[in-house]
Amino acid sequence: MGSLVVFGILWIVGSLLGEWGATAWIDSAPNGTGPYFGTASNLGLVGVHAFDFLIWVAVPIFVFVVLMILFAMFKFRARRDENVTNAPSQVRNNKAFVGTWIVISILLNLLIWLHPNASGLEQVFAAQLPANNPKPVVIDVTARQWEWIFSYPQYHITQSLNASGQDTLYMPVNRPVKFVLRSYDPFHSYAHQVDVIHGFWIPAFGVKYDVIPGETRILYLTATKLMSTETNPMARVQCSEVCGPGHPYMEANLHVVTGSQFAAWAKAQAARG
Amino acid sequence: MAQPLTKEGPDPETRRVAPLPPVLRGFLWAAIGFIVFAALAAWLDPSRVSPYITAVGAVAGWFGAMIGWLLGIGGYEHVVKPMMGYPSPAVRTSGWRRYYEYALDHKVIGIQYLGASTGTFLIAGLIAMAMRFQLMSYRPTLFHYPQNYLNAVGIHGTLMMFTVATVAMVGGLGNYFVPLMIGTRETMFPKASGMSVWLVPLGVLTVAMSPLLGQWTTGWRGYEPLASSDGSGLLYYYLGVFALTTSSLIVAINLTATILFKRTRGMTWNRLPLFAWGILTVSLLNIIWLPEIQTTFVLGMLDKVMPLNLFNVFGQPLGYEYLFWLFGHPEVYIVVLPALAIWSEIIPVMGRKSLFARPIAVLGLVFVMLLSGMVWAHHMFTMMRFSEMLPFSFFTEMISIPTGFAYLAVIGTLWNSRLRLTTPTLLVLMSMFNFLIGGLTGLFLADVPANLQLHNTFFVVGHFHYTIIGGMVFSWMAAMYYWLPKFSGRTYSEFWGKLGAIWVFVAFNATFLNFFILGLHGMNRWVSVYPKYLQPENFWTSIAAFFLGAGFAINIIHIVWAWMKGPKVKENPWDAKTLEWRTSSPPPTKNFDTLPVVVGSFYTYGEGVPDPVEIPVSEMETKGSPG
Ligand code: HEM
Ligand SMILES: [Cu+2]
Ligand SMILES: [Cu+2]
């Protein structure tokens, strides 16, 4: 009984300390983005909330098992010179303990499935409804071995390039963007033999979606922060699914700019042809 | 190794039938087989301009090499000729040479599997060191082209999964200990078992040499449609894995049949040792899923050799991925179930305490087995339809409940025990810690919105190394130290054992905790070059990884030393109750002089608990009362 009380107290204290440390970590950056980083979009914010919530769930479980391991190592340890003796207690079952364990583990799993998972997915699904994305900037994203090509049909930009001729993604902040993801485009010849899966990932936005041969997939996304690859290396387009030797190099620069900057940029790009 | 040949062996018969050492003859016959079959393919191939080694020729030649190898290693005398009516030649039963020949004794076969796994662990581990060396810098250093690095990743993953993680504790420890633990003298199909182990070196060599045929970049999963346009080395990835999985399949069938039909008297299902339960559930998983992945790989291979357009835009681009993970997720439980079972084997013995909630521990193994086929697509959240996300995240999270039962049983046993803090105990506790982190990070990955960020980053790589190394490799090491006295009658040094355990534990966590941080920082998988801001963290991760590699080497050297030269130890040094300790160490060829009879539970301790084992009275004079 004594050990049980000590264990209980230590567990509660340890969990509280752990939660305090976790919260400090989470709050070490604004909006609870501490350990997560990928939060500069509406979808990334859903992810970070899930992540933070799961940290809080995980802490007491972690402390429980680690404390048990430490108890085993220090409290229940047989003294070195002691002869091998049987443990004084030989409890082989404890209905209360087993029952509580099973009920708690079922409830906990149901909980985290409902929240943050299902609740977060609800937000993700809602964010993908065209009705919730009025007047989006349409960006056709083409993933090829090994290049990202960005076209802006509304602005008559067939391939957005920077001054040194590299593909570049520009998007306005706080305005919905409709990414049309596919692996072929009208401007290049298509070779089905080398059409492979790529992953459209912007680490800073906290979201990725794969580009599947033969399919056109749509991803609605709203960037919530001004940023560019030059100032934040996580603000980049990176292929996340292995796609052959060029995979590590399959990245593109990203610029999230204000609405007026975007308009100016689009005009200049369109003028380039 | 100039061990003199003892009186009992080698019998002259073996000498006469094998003029060359079997391994050498296997190589020779394999080469002949390759040439003959490749020539046949070249002869059948209508194209006059094609080179001698074509994709088709390499595949046909490989099958010739496999047949030659298996016949040369001993299949000719021991399997083929007896089928035609010739007497079976004797099998060497002593001396080190028996490990390099066809064997029938499940203990020899178990050690052969263990040796193959350990050797492959070293090879694939060295490849990991090379990968970590490359990742110390954000630009190409060791691997000048990404495909070199990607091929290394693929070989590392394939060998580790199919030769180490799924083999060491099943083909190795399972073959050695299950017959001893259930009280039988042999396995159900010893002849098939003696052959199956030789598929392992063949498979390992095939995968390791595959770049010679053309570098491949898909990693261990062989994702289509990339695979069909990728280097031809993938053909040898498919074939190597085919050999390795066939080997595991034979082990599974053999051990399942052995557990079902060869238990000694009184070994009821309620008394069956936990490790045997673990091997049984794993074997059922293997029997269900290995044929599935083999079929998938055959489709992939056919698609590569003669474009069938199965998995590209004309077929089903995601078809392969679904088929792969249908097997791939159960695979991770194939890896970890024996580890969870080992915990419940070691802790009651070391804690001198009855196993807590034994039925729950067994149910946990069984339910994990049943559920594991329902979660596969959680590897594909970034590819799937929205409607699939909720059910797959649901089953994924639910599987943590039966997995938790393993913890429930061990924790209940640890409580108020008299725990002897030996090296095996320490390693089990460490394994519990590591696997806990692996499991908890799984919660984050199973959350779909977070998965869309974490998927295919180093967060995932950290997660599965925590479950596989943390769960399986640490438990494997625990089992090796625990059973060392059984293998050889010798024991290890507690000092070096503990030092080795603490060393790998610290280095392991220093390495792989960083993987999580790297992943969150935007480090993705399968990259040999990466943005510069990730370099400092990668650098320190690599330094820790080198320490980890050294730590594994220390443990392996220590175990080998203890096995050969360690201090002699009494027969049942841990005072364990299971049957493997009821015979001499190392056990005689036929395991038991008299088959023991089980009359009670192996996992019940306490004052006045009767001995769970009886040796039939009439033969008491051949074996004294068990120590
Ligand atoms: C000895 C220490 C080890 C180190 C330092 C290590 C390191 C790594 C690294 C750096 C990667 C590649 C990540 C990437 O670029 O995508 C990797 C992949 C992998 N490792 Fe390990 N590893 C070790 C041991 C193991 C073990 C013991 C296993 C399993 C038994 C294992 C299984 C895998 C698998 C399955 C992959 C994925 C390969 C793929 O993506 O195709 N590793 N490992
Ligand atoms: Cu890629
Ligand atoms: Cu899985």
* CA-nearest residue, atom 1 of ligand 1: B125
- Distance, in angstroms, between A181 CA and closest chain B CA? 12
Which stretch of DSSP H or E encloses residue A256?
A: strand A251-257
Structural contact between residues B376 and B314, judged by C-beta atoms closer than 8 angstroms? no
Ranges for all domains in chain A classified under CATH 2.60.40.420: 135-272
Please, is B167 exposed, middle or buried when counting C-beta atoms within 10 Å of its C-beta (0-12, 13-18, 19+)?
buried
Q: Tell me, what's the pLDDT at B624?
A: 45
User: In this structure, what DSSP letter does residue A89 have?
Assistant: -
pLDDT tens per residue, chain A (273 residues)?
Answer: 688 999 999 999 999 999 999 999 988 877 667 788 888 999 999 999 999 999 999 999 999 999 999 999 999 998 765 667 888 888 889 999 999 999 999 999 999 999 999 999 999 999 999 999 999 999 999 999 889 999 999 999 999 999 999 999 999 999 999 999 998 877 777 888 789 999 999 999 999 999 999 899 999 999 999 999 999 999 999 999 999 999 999 999 999 999 999 999 999 999 886
Which segments of B352-457 does DSSP mark as H helices, in order? 358-371, 386-398, 400-414, 423-446, 448-454
Cα separation, B175 vs B166, whole angstroms: 13
A221 alpha carbon to ligand 1 midpoint, in Å?
33
Query: Could you tell me which residue, B494 or A36, shows the higher pLDDT?
Result: B494
Q: How far is CA B390 from CA A54, A123, A207, B394, in A?
A: 17, 13, 18, 6
* Interchain CB contact of A58 with B (< 8 Å): yes
Q: Which ligand is closest in space to the CA of residue B464?
A: 1
Sign of CA dihedral B442, B443, B448, B449: negative
Helix (H, G, I), strand (E, B), or coil: what is residue B4? coil
* Interchain CB contact of A71 with B (< 8 Å): yes
Contacts of residue B523, Cβ cutoff 8 Å, sequence gap at least 6: B457, B458, B530, B534, B538
Please, is A173 exposed, middle or buried when counting C-beta atoms within 10 Å of its C-beta (0-12, 13-18, 19+)?
middle
Cα separation, B294 vs B245, whole angstroms: 8
Q: Tell me, what's the pLDDT at B49?
A: 67
Q: Do A241 and B223 touch (CB under 8 A)?
A: yes
End-to-end CA separation in angstroms for chain B: 33
pLDDT in tens, B166-207: 999 999 999 999 999 999 999 999 999 999 999 999 999 999
Q: What is the ipTM of this complex?
A: 0.96
CA angle B470, A54, A72 (to 5 degrees): 45
pLDDT in tens, B12-28: 444 455 578 999 999 99
Q: Which chain A residue has the Cα nearest residue B138?
A: A248
User: Can you tell me which atom of ligand 1 is nearest the CA of B527?
Assistant: 15
Please check the confidence at residue B623 and state whether its pLDDT lies above 60.
Answer: no
pLDDT in tens, B460-488: 999 999 999 999 999 999 999 999 999 99
Q: Which chain A residue has the Cα nearest residue B219?
A: A242
Structure tokens at B614: 């009886």
Of B396, B269, B422, B267, give the one whose Cα is nearest residue B330: B396
- Distance, in angstroms, between B519 CA and closest chain A CA? 10
Which stretch of DSSP H or E encloses residue A169?
A: strand A168-172
Kind of pairing between the strands at B613-614 and B597-598: antiparallel
Cα separation, B44 vs B57, whole angstroms: 10
Percentage of residues of chain B with pLDDT beyond 70: 94
pLDDT in tens, B74-104: 999 999 999 999 998 999 888 889 999 999 9
Structure tokens at A149: 């090509």
Cα separation, B197 vs B191, whole angstroms: 11
Cα separation, A26 vs B47, whole angstroms: 65
Q: Tell me, what's the pLDDT at B2?
A: 40
User: In this structure, what DSSP letter does residue A118 have?
Assistant: I
- Would the CB of B468 count as within 6 Å of ligand 1? yes
Structural contact between residues A172 and A139, judged by C-beta atoms closer than 8 angstroms? no
- Distance, in angstroms, between B379 CA and closest chain A CA? 12
Task: Name the residue facing A109 among B230, B397, B605 (closest C-beta).
Answer: B397
- Would the CB of B526 count as within 6 Å of ligand 1? yes
Please check the confidence at residue B438 and state whether its pLDDT lies above 90.
Answer: yes
B373 alpha carbon to ligand 3 midpoint, in Å?
9
Contacts of residue B534, Cβ cutoff 8 Å, sequence gap at least 6: B138, B518, B521, B522, B523
Q: Tell me, what's the pLDDT at B215?
A: 94
- Would the CB of B523 count as within 6 Å of ligand 1? no
Which segments of B45-163 does DSSP mark as H helices, in order? 55-70, 81-83, 106-135, 146-159
Structure tokens at B129: 């060191």
Q: How far is CA B1 from CA B19, B91, B95, B109, B328, in A?
A: 20, 21, 10, 20, 41
Q: Which residues of A34-67 are buried (b: 16+ CB within 10 A; e: fewer)?
A: bbbbbbbbbbbbbbbbbbbbbbeebbbbbbbbbb
- Distance, in angstroms, between A168 CA and closest chain B CA? 16
- Distance, in angstroms, between B196 CA and closest chain A CA? 34
Q: Which ligand is closest in space to the CA of residue B219?
A: 1
Cα separation, B582 vs B265, whole angstroms: 15
* Phi, psi dihedral angles at A252 (to 5 degrees): -145, 150
Please check the confidence at residue B534 and state whether its pLDDT lies above 80.
Answer: yes
Helices (H) and strands (E) in chain A, counts: 5, 10
Q: Do A249 and B313 touch (CB under 8 A)?
A: no
- Would the CB of B548 count as within 6 Å of ligand 1? yes
* Phi, psi dihedral angles at B569 (to 5 degrees): -140, 160
| Full set of structural domains in chain B with CATH | 20-86 (no CATH), 105-565 (1.20.210.10)
Residue holding tokens 């000048």? B144
Contacts of residue B494, Cβ cutoff 8 Å, sequence gap at least 6: B422, B423
Q: Which residues pair with A137 in a beta bridge?
A: A177
Which of the residues B144, B226, B394, B411 would you substitute to probe the A interface, choosing the one with the greatest number of A C-beta atoms within 10 Å?
Answer: B226
Q: For residues B373-395, give the mean pLDDT.
A: 91
Sign of CA dihedral A252, A253, A259, A260: negative
Question: Which residues of A are less than 8 Å from B382 in CB distance?
Answer: 199, 208-210, 240-241
pTM comes to 0.94
Which stretch of DSSP H or E encloses residue B566?
A: none
Q: Do A87 and B604 touch (CB under 8 A)?
A: no
Which segments of B466-577 does DSSP mark as H helices, in order? 474-488, 494-520, 535-565
- Would the CB of B432 count as within 6 Å of ligand 1? no
CATH topology of domain A135-272: Immunoglobulin-like (2.60.40)
From B156, B435, B473, B547, give the residue whose CB has the most ligand 1 atoms within 8 Å, as the site to mutate. Answer: B156
* CA-nearest residue, atom 4 of ligand 1: B128
* CA-nearest residue, atom 15 of ligand 1: B526
Cα separation, B186 vs B180, whole angstroms: 9
Which stretch of DSSP H or E encloses residue A251?
A: strand A251-257
Q: Tell me, what's the pLDDT at B147?
A: 95
User: In this structure, what DSSP letter does residue B624 have?
Assistant: -
* Interchain CB contact of A179 with B (< 8 Å): no
Please check the confidence at residue B11 and state whether its pLDDT lies above 60.
Answer: no
Helices (H) and strands (E) in chain B, counts: 22, 2
Which segments of B262-318 does DSSP mark as H helices, in order? 274-305
- Would the CB of B333 count as within 6 Å of ligand 1? no
